[in-house]
Amino acid sequence: MNKLLHIFTFSPVQGFISNSRRLSDLYHSSLLLSTLTENLMKVIKDLNTEIIYPVLVENGQGLANYPNRIVFLADKCICEDVIKNFQELWEGIYETILRKVLDEVGISKEEKEKIEEQARLHLENYFRAYCECTNYEEAKKWKEKLKQNLGKDYDDYAVAYDWTERKLGSLKSQKPYEPLMDAYTYNEGKYPDGCTLCGERVHLAVDWEKFKESLQDSIKHYLKEGEKLCGVCLVKRFAFYCLVRQTFPSVHDVANAKFKEELKDFEQNYKDRASDLKSLLQQYMGEEKPRDHLWEYNAELFDIEELERIKREEEDLSLGIDDLIRELRWIYNNELLSKPSKNYFAIIISDGDSMGDWLGLNSKIRKEKLERAFHEKFSKALSNYAKEIKSLESKEKFGLRIVYAGGDDVLAVADLREFLDFAEKLNPTFKNKVGKDASVSAGIVIGHQKDNLAYLLNEAGKAEKKAKSVEGKSAFCITVIPRGGGPVSFWAKWGEFLSLFKDTIEYFEKEIIGDRTAYDIREIVDKFEASKEKPMEIVLALLRGMLKRRVDKNKLKEHLGKEKRVFIEEYLQELRKLLEISDLENLANLFYTARFVAKERREKKHETVGANT
């Protein structure tokens, strides 16, 4: 092989993304990292190189579809140049954001300079870039050693890739200690506390209450009351200044996606009321003119309880809020529009199974030699998969938003109507694009919109890890986290078991089986808690008796058109299959998680909102 194979990567990535308080933080963090990779790829391409992975997509801005990794060929070692270019690109991004934010705040020049200095201290060495390459002599020696030890004559590309990966892994394992000497103070010598978002660095030494009040009205709402950010988190929060400026829905918007869709009908059917409501929202938001559509506003602004909370905490806004609350009460009481009453949403994280094996020397999955042609084909397949996943998102609906789709990794948020239909498409789409032996596993967490987002992301990661632990993988794990309760997880293989989960949700939702069923099954499972064996037939017999009591034959006939006895026996056959691959605890969790989703999906009965009209 005449050219030198290079592999570039940078870190930290997970921490940068997961330390997010809002979905917009999460999205812009992901997009910022993807943009860094994209811009570096363009620089590398101009250095007379051939990029193998990832595929550079034209007009890719707006979709976070690039991983933190680049594989390319060059005539000579250009590792130092690539790392230098990466550092310059990162510096250009954070300098642009800092400058534009500080241009929007009315504080003294001296204060701005101090903020810039401290922020640079946090930012300049935040990312650590790594790049390694393998020259001809190294590849030759490694090829001879592989042949001697394994008795195989590998392709030159495979040898170079394997050795470069090993060198890169060794380089990344070195963790030099670099203390951050941050001695900045504010308010006459006061040392700042930790950043309220990440907690990894101190917050910028500035009076944050004064800082927020001094911001231009157009961006003031990007800082929440009490937030005090470090330089890194400030850049993440205002990352839209160097990206294509895009809005990303809040967790409240995602949870209430159906409400946002109903706003479209309301706007069309009640034009005068919609116009009045837009004017009130414009007044409350302090905007120069109302937005084009009601659904462009956060669903939280239509929540009377939330508005009353804000009114109690911010007395200066009471007049504008009173008018808005009065109008919303009238609309809800006259049933022109349903309230935004949903609180739970889903986070879906997935990635490919055994991806290292696909590019390993002795792959059990790959059916052909590891050559450059295969790697390029594989890269293109992953790029096509990301495009296909992104295409599942519709701007006309609000129930699904893709945060990141790059390579084999996907991160998305969805409401409880859409999340399973989306998750169900992940594995077959991956197989279709990459190969029939390819598969993905996914972790899904259902959490409350007031839960800490970083906590929910961590739980989604745990769910994905559980799915990855299933033998043969190609699995999913769904975790529900009730408000004030602990996580409960159900796991299984894709296919018939996801269908079983969806069917069980439907049975609860349509009241074919009563809500009490979940507790009945927990009691059955608890009886065998101390048993070392799984008494399958006894458990199934107890389930049969319980279902005879809990299945509503009238609802069953109305919705499924089945006889009760036939339905129970068919359902028990599906439950038997689940018990054959998992334990009794997982069976109980199937019913608990399905009931939870069904209960949250149900439409709440209309209630008159207050009496003060």
CATH number of the domain to which 117 belongs: 3.30.70.2220
130 and 32 both lie in a single domain: yes
pLDDT at 211 over 80: yes
Asked if residue 401 belongs to a domain, the reply is no
pLDDT at 396 over 60: yes
Between the alpha carbon of residue 277 and those of residues 292, 334, 437, 611, the distances in Å are: 12, 15, 54, 20
Asked if residue 383 belongs to a domain, the reply is no
Residue range 233-248: mean pLDDT, rounded: 82
- pLDDT given at position 141: 94
Residue range 136-143: mean pLDDT, rounded: 93
Handedness of CA 395, 450, 309, 101 (dihedral sign): negative
Residue owning tokens 């034959």 = 553
8 and 133 both lie in a single domain: yes
168 and 143 both lie in a single domain: yes
226 and 262 both lie in a single domain: no
Domain end point (choices 241, 274, 302) = 241
360 and 310 both lie in a single domain: no
> What DSSP letter does each residue of 134-165 carry, written as one string?
E-HHHHHHHHHHHHHHH-----HHHHHHHHHH
- pLDDT given at position 588: 96
Residue range 312-320: mean pLDDT, rounded: 64
Residues in the chain: 613
Structural domain range at position 420: 344-377+406-601
Per-residue pLDDT reduced to its tens digit, 326-370? 999 999 999 999 999 999 999 999 999 999 999 999 888 998 899
The contacts of residue 316 (CB under 8 Å, 6+ apart) are none
- The tokens describing 231, both together, are 């330089």
Q: Label the pairing between strands 400-406 and 128-134.
A: unpaired
- pLDDT given at position 284: 84
Residue range 522-539: mean pLDDT, rounded: 86
Quote the mean pLDDT of the chain.
Answer: 91
pLDDT at 194 over 90: yes
Cis peptide before 12, with omega less than 30 degrees from 0?
A: yes
Asked if residue 608 belongs to a domain, the reply is no
100 and 228 both lie in a single domain: yes
Continuous segment of H or E residues that includes residue 406? strand 400-406
176 and 269 both lie in a single domain: no
The contacts of residue 276 (CB under 8 Å, 6+ apart) are 327
Classify 346 as helix, strand or coil: strand
- pLDDT given at position 246: 66
pTM score above 0.85: yes
CA distance 160 to 155: 9
Residue range 112-119: mean pLDDT, rounded: 95
Asked if residue 339 belongs to a domain, the reply is no
pLDDT at 315 over 80: no
- pLDDT given at position 317: 55
226 and 307 both lie in a single domain: no
Q: Which is more confidently placed, 567 or 59?
A: 567
- pLDDT given at position 599: 95
Confidence of residue 606 (pLDDT cuts 50, 70, 90): very low
CA distance 203 to 209: 13
- pLDDT given at position 60: 54
Region of residue 245 (phi > 0: left; psi between -120 and 50: alpha; otherwise: beta) = beta
CA distance 298 to 205: 31
- pLDDT given at position 237: 92
- pLDDT given at position 399: 93
CA distance 603 to 595: 14
pLDDT at 605 over 50: no
- Contact, 557 vs 511, CB < 8 A? no
160 and 90 both lie in a single domain: yes
How far is CA 576 from its chain centroid?
33
CA distance 221 to 281: 14
Asked if residue 220 belongs to a domain, the reply is yes
- The tokens describing 45, both together, are 């391409």
Name the residue among 538, 505, 521, 543 with its Cα closest to residue 588: 521
Residue range 143-167: mean pLDDT, rounded: 91
Name the residue among 252, 327, 190, 185 with its Cα closest to residue 24: 252
Name the residue among 427, 433, 432, 425 with its Cα closest to residue 382: 433
pLDDT at 610 over 60: no
Helices and strands: H and E segment counts in the chain: 24, 10
End-to-end CA distance of the chain: 79
Percent of the chain with pLDDT over 70: 95
CATH number of the domain to which 413 belongs: 3.30.70.270
Q: Which is more confidently placed, 160 or 316?
A: 160
Asked if residue 396 belongs to a domain, the reply is no
Percent of the chain with pLDDT over 90: 75
CA distance 360 to 366: 9
Per-residue pLDDT reduced to its tens digit, 399-426? 999 999 988 999 999 999 999 999 999 9
CA distance 555 to 48: 68
Residue range 476-500: mean pLDDT, rounded: 95
Confidence of residue 314 (pLDDT cuts 50, 70, 90): low
Confidence of residue 552 (pLDDT cuts 50, 70, 90): very high
Classify 400 as helix, strand or coil: strand
pLDDT at 442 over 90: yes
Q: Which is more confidently placed, 533 or 259?
A: 259
Domain end point (choices 241, 270, 303) = 241
560 and 508 both lie in a single domain: yes
535 and 426 both lie in a single domain: yes
268 and 209 both lie in a single domain: no
How far is CA 35 from its chain centroid?
17
How many domains would you assign to the chain? 3
pLDDT at 64 over 90: no
Domain end point (choices 241, 272, 300) = 241
Is residue 520 packed enough to be buried (19+ CB in 10 Å), middle (13-18) or exposed (0-12)? buried
Confidence of residue 189 (pLDDT cuts 50, 70, 90): confident
